[in-house]
Amino acid sequence: MKHVIIGNGIAGISAAETIRKNRPEDEIVIIGNEDGPPYWRASLSKYILDIIPSQKMKIKPDGWFEKQGIQQIQGDVKRIDGPGSRIFLKQPQAEAEIRFDRCCIATGAKPVSLSIPGSDLPGVLAFRSLSQANQLKKTLASIKHLVVIGGGVLGMEVVELAVANQINCTVLQRGNLIGTPLVDEHGADILLRRVTGQDGVHPPCAEVIFGDGIVEFCSQNDRLSGIRLQSGKEIPCGLAVVCIGILPDPSIVEDSGLAFERGLLVDEHQQTNIEGVYGAGDCVIYPTESGGLAPTRTWVTSRIQGKTAGYNMCGIPSLLFDEGPMYNASYLFDLLYTVIGDFNPRGGNYRSFHHHPDPVSYRKLIFKDDRIVGAMMLGDRNGDQAIRRLIAQNVSISSDLQKQNLLDPAFDPNDLAKEGIEFIMY
Amino acid sequence: MEEKPINVRHPSEHFLDELRVFSEYQLDSCFGDGECMRVCPVVDQELLISELNECTIGQNELTDAVTQFTYDCFQCGQCTIACPAGVQRDILMVYLKHKAMKKGEPPHLKSYYKAKGISGWNPNRPEQKSLGKELVIRGYNLMSSRKLGVLKQHVDKTEFRQADTLIYFGCYIFSHTGVQFKTIEIADKLKLDYEVLGGLKSCCGWPQLLGGRIEEAEYLHRYVADVIDKIRPKQIVTGCMECYAALKRMARLNHSTWEPLTTSQWLLQFADQLNLTRSDELVTFHDSCHCTRKLGLGQNPRNLLGKLYNLKEMEKNKEDALCCGYYNFKGNPGLNQEIVKQKMDMVEKTGAKTLAVECVTCQESFESAAKARGIEVADLVALVHRNIFPE
């Protein structure tokens, strides 16, 4: 059987790896359009800061693809013929055709750009790929003021870059919350206080402007010199980084017969509307129980989606999150966070329990019918693995006192053994 | 078609199965940040995380570089605390150690295992049934028991009486530190109803578990749990944090009614009864990796020390504390000495002349380097003993 994977990011690699593990004899082809081997996209800021050297940015060791018998092709896909089980490449030769038995589309997503005057000026950058990171690294060394457009998760990473380079920084954010969607309202407030120096941990790291959108990138000598806001305010800057989100590129599925609506539509098996064609990673979107559509664009979910697609491509029926609930943990600015499962639900019969041990940390647990279904921790995430296990095991905790106890950062996971929950080792 | 999950996410009866599954699903969260390796006191900083991850997956072979790192890993757990993605790398390293051990004992660690009396492991026969192994244990017990005096009768004994408290020494019943005798004297002063257990056959199995010798560890856990069942204690006191971790696991797996206690937890129960007196003498405290980083029990020893002395924290303390490096004490003395030197530098900076510990292995690791600098290393039990039995 021949498996073709389009996209060599973490979702694509995870699919290829899973197929190889389960089907040693099958043919696997992986198509990627970036120069160089797959890299740790989520660690690009540490690469810019020279904390991670370039040789440590590779996801797989040298020679891995050859050893696994996975053929790599560098090039862009021109068109997918879903029903005909064919892929046409733009490069290396026009109309090159690859046939497949099973295909996984894992093409990721592209940064959303602004359609305003000056958006193509040198000095206006996105931050998504290794080549963009290299550009950013080079530019940071020569500027005095940086404007970050978008105060979400990626925007906060760019603020960190500004701080490390001792550059003044302004963040523009729509609405009145930063750090979303990984934090709720209260978490956003903690983050804002940290970034703007109000919590006293750092001196102010950035000015945050809410609800005053950018209308123009201004130029001097054909280079970015500043930005102009709706209010008329002008901010001089040598670099503007646009971090207003990512979206899958619909051109990949044009004339393919594949259903696409703000993302490639897949079910919980990662299967698209065409049999034998799967999707994984940032390019996909799921129908939700309430009839809407939900992307889950994190590093961990991309990996799990890739694995799930891989199993199903091998004919081993698997469901998304068989491995456990959605989990994501890292830093938001310099605040540790963990989010697990359904951590910010809307509507329904959810109850949330909150704990604010101090002004710089916060934790929240979400229960549905006494079952713990989600958690969010910011600043201190002690015990998050235990909570992750509780959510994975769909544990029912009836008393409110026990629910409150779980919120205590000092709780001993071993005590949960009384609830019949087993933890590995400690 | 019936739907089957990709992985077993519920704990299996067999620890190794769970460990394999756990390792793989933990790696899903790794995004190559590399902080785990930057804080590691032993890894070669040239080692790539991609190589380490690749070797950790399933049955993949270990490269030479990963094998070396696997042997050197102290199991200090700094990596797990540091990981922004919440990956429990120390547990993943146990799985790697298991895979490395399947190839045979590394030559440079043989002396460590010999010192622990656990050399000659046959991965296919963890039940210790081989005559050679039996003879090694008997010979070690015989030789080492000569200086044990009142404790000699307790070495790997098979007849027990029921008691409310079990004082569990494991292999540290043979420790040259003398802390085991002091524990007994305190228990006598408190007029406790207690039973004692120690010896190589009654080893807690934790060094084996952390060394990847999982089948052997499982066997020992079952053996010790069976013995404890005969004694029917309400609480089990141990002065070794590895033993404590093992007992905690046994209690959990067997749904036991007894509760393991560290010596500080135990002594704090009797703080009033012991009439402890406090002096202004400056003392600093070394957090054992298990006590504080892995089990979150770092406050108990501080509470106890606060009743005896003036506690001055070291530069790196609590979760950030530097490991004692005992694992490489015998196996890779160079690595051990480097760690111990850093620790002694930090002790000196506090101005304290006494370094308190709550784990026998930490004391053994520090002793000679501390002595050379005029620093006393003393177990909490020894410090309490000194307080209630002044010379």
Convert the pLDDT of each residue in B266-286 to its tens digit. Answer: 999 999 999 999 999 999 999
Integer Cα distance of A199 and A184 in angstroms:
18
Give the SS3 label for residue B58: coil
Bridging pattern class, strands A102-105 and A2-6: parallel
pLDDT given for residue A426 in this prediction: 41
Q: A377 vs chain B: nearest CA distance in angstroms?
A: 12
Percent of chain B with pLDDT over 70: 86
DSSP 3-state helix, strand, coil percentages of chain A (rounded to 5)? 25, 30, 45
Q: Is the per-residue pLDDT at B127 higher than 60?
A: no
* A79-83, A346-350, B79-83, range with the lowest pLDDT: A346-350
The mean pLDDT value for A92-99 works out to 78
pLDDT given for residue A47 in this prediction: 97
Q: A422 vs chain B: nearest CA distance in angstroms?
A: 6
* A156-160, B302-306, B338-342, range with the lowest pLDDT: B338-342
A:B CB pairs within 8 Å: 123
With an 8 Å Cβ cutoff, are B296 and A40 in contact?
Answer: no
Contact of A326 with A182, CB cutoff 8 Å? no
Measured at the CA of B319, the angle between CA B67 and CA B371, to 5 degrees, comes to 80
Q: Phi/psi of residue B113, each to 5°?
A: -65, -35
pLDDT given for residue B133 in this prediction: 62
Structure tokens at B263: 């010596």
Structure tokens at A301: 């979910």
| pLDDT tens, position by position, B315-364 | 999 988 999 988 766 667 787 888 899 999 999 999 999 999 999 989 99
Q: Which of residues 104-143 of B touch A (CB under 8 A)?
A: none
The conformation of residue A167, written as its DSSP 8-state character, comes to: -
Mean predicted lDDT score pLDDT of chain B: 85
Per-residue pLDDT band at A424 (split at 50, 70, 90): very low
With an 8 Å Cβ cutoff, are A304 and B28 in contact?
Answer: yes
| pLDDT tens, position by position, B155-211 | 888 888 999 999 999 989 998 899 999 999 999 999 999 999 998 888 898 888 888
Percent of chain B with pLDDT over 90: 51
Q: A360 vs chain B: nearest CA distance in angstroms?
A: 18
With an 8 Å Cβ cutoff, are B28 and A300 in contact?
Answer: yes
Mean predicted lDDT score pLDDT of chain A: 90
**Omega into A204 within 30° of 0, i.e. cis?**
no
With an 8 Å Cβ cutoff, are B31 and A60 in contact?
Answer: no
Q: B370 vs chain A: nearest CA distance in angstroms?
A: 31
Q: Phi/psi of residue A186, each to 5°?
A: -70, -40
Q: B123 vs chain A: nearest CA distance in angstroms?
A: 20
pLDDT given for residue A400 in this prediction: 82
Q: At what angle do helices B89-102 and B64-72 cross, to 10 degrees?
A: 110
What residues have CB less than 8 Å from A26, skipping those under 6 apart? A1, A2, A3, A19, A20, A314
Integer Cα distance of A209 and A232 in angstroms:
13
Integer Cα distance of A59 and A64 in angstroms:
10
pLDDT given for residue A286 in this prediction: 86
- B319 close contact with A: CB closer than 8 A: no
Per-residue pLDDT band at A295 (split at 50, 70, 90): low
Integer Cα distance of B8 and A177 in angstroms:
39
With an 8 Å Cβ cutoff, are A58 and B50 in contact?
Answer: yes
pLDDT given for residue B200 in this prediction: 83
What residues have CB less than 8 Å from B148, skipping those under 6 apart? B155, B173, B174
Could you tell me where the DSSP H helices lie in chain B?
15-27, 35-39, 49-56, 64-72, 78-82, 89-102, 110-115, 131-145, 179-189, 206-210, 214-231, 241-253, 263-269, 299-306, 327-331, 333-350, 360-372, 380-388
| pLDDT tens, position by position, B290-299 | 888 888 888 9
Mutate to test the interface with A, among B19, B22, B28 (most CBs of A within 10 A): B28
pLDDT given for residue A291 in this prediction: 63
| pLDDT tens, position by position, B45-70 | 999 999 999 999 888 899 999 998 99
With an 8 Å Cβ cutoff, are B19 and A424 in contact?
Answer: yes
pLDDT given for residue B150 in this prediction: 85
Q: Which residues of chain B are within 8 Å of residue A380 when distances are taken between CB atoms? A: none
**Closest partner CB to B9 (pick from A304, A323, A425):** A323
With an 8 Å Cβ cutoff, are A58 and B48 in contact?
Answer: yes
Give Cα B343 distance to the centre of its chain. 18
- Nearest chain A residue to B2, by CA: A317
The mean pLDDT value for A338-360 works out to 85
pLDDT given for residue B326 in this prediction: 82
Torsion of CA B186, B192, B195, B196, to 10 degrees: -10
**Closest partner CB to A60 (pick from B11, B54, B252):** B54
Q: Is the per-residue pLDDT at A187 higher than 90?
A: yes
**Closest partner CB to B84 (pick from A55, A330, A425):** A330
Structure tokens at A113: 């750009």
What are the b/e assignments for B345-382, b being 16+ CB within 10 Å?
ebbeebebbbbbbbbbbbbbbbbebbeeeebebbbbbb
* A167-171, B130-134, B174-178, B272-276, range with the lowest pLDDT: B130-134
Helix (H) or strand (E) holding A137: helix A130-140
The mean pLDDT value for A200-229 works out to 96
Integer Cα distance of B256 and B246 in angstroms:
13
| pLDDT tens, position by position, B9-47 | 333 346 777 788 788 878 989 999 999 999 998 899 999
Q: At what angle do helices A153-164 and A185-195 cross, to 10 degrees?
A: 10
Percent of chain A with pLDDT over 70: 92
Helix (H) or strand (E) holding A89: strand A86-89
Rg for chain A (alpha carbons), in Å?
A: 23
- B32 close contact with A: CB closer than 8 A: yes
- B64 close contact with A: CB closer than 8 A: no
With an 8 Å Cβ cutoff, are A424 and B252 in contact?
Answer: no
With an 8 Å Cβ cutoff, are A331 and B84 in contact?
Answer: yes
Q: Closest Cα partner for A279 from A290, A256, B170, A291?
A: A256
Per-residue pLDDT band at A418 (split at 50, 70, 90): low
What are the angstrom distances between the C-alpha of A176 and each of A161, A231, B79, B290?
A: 23, 16, 36, 44
pLDDT given for residue A414 in this prediction: 59
pLDDT given for residue B167 in this prediction: 97
Could you tell me where the DSSP H helices lie in A287-410?
299-313, 384-392, 400-407
At which residue do the structure tokens 């380490």 appear?
B52
Structure tokens at A400: 């409110």
- Residues paired with residue A111 on neighbouring β-strands, in sequence order: A246
pLDDT given for residue B359 in this prediction: 92
What are the angstrom distances between the C-alpha of A36 and each of A406, B256, B314, B370?
A: 45, 55, 46, 52
ipTM over 0.85? The verdict is yes
Per-residue pLDDT band at A95 (split at 50, 70, 90): low
Q: Is the per-residue pLDDT at B1 higher than 50?
A: no
What are the angstrom distances between the C-alpha of B69 and each of A254, B40, B44, B100?
A: 49, 10, 7, 10
What are the angstrom distances between the C-alpha of B34 and each of A64, A356, B19, B322?
A: 20, 30, 22, 19
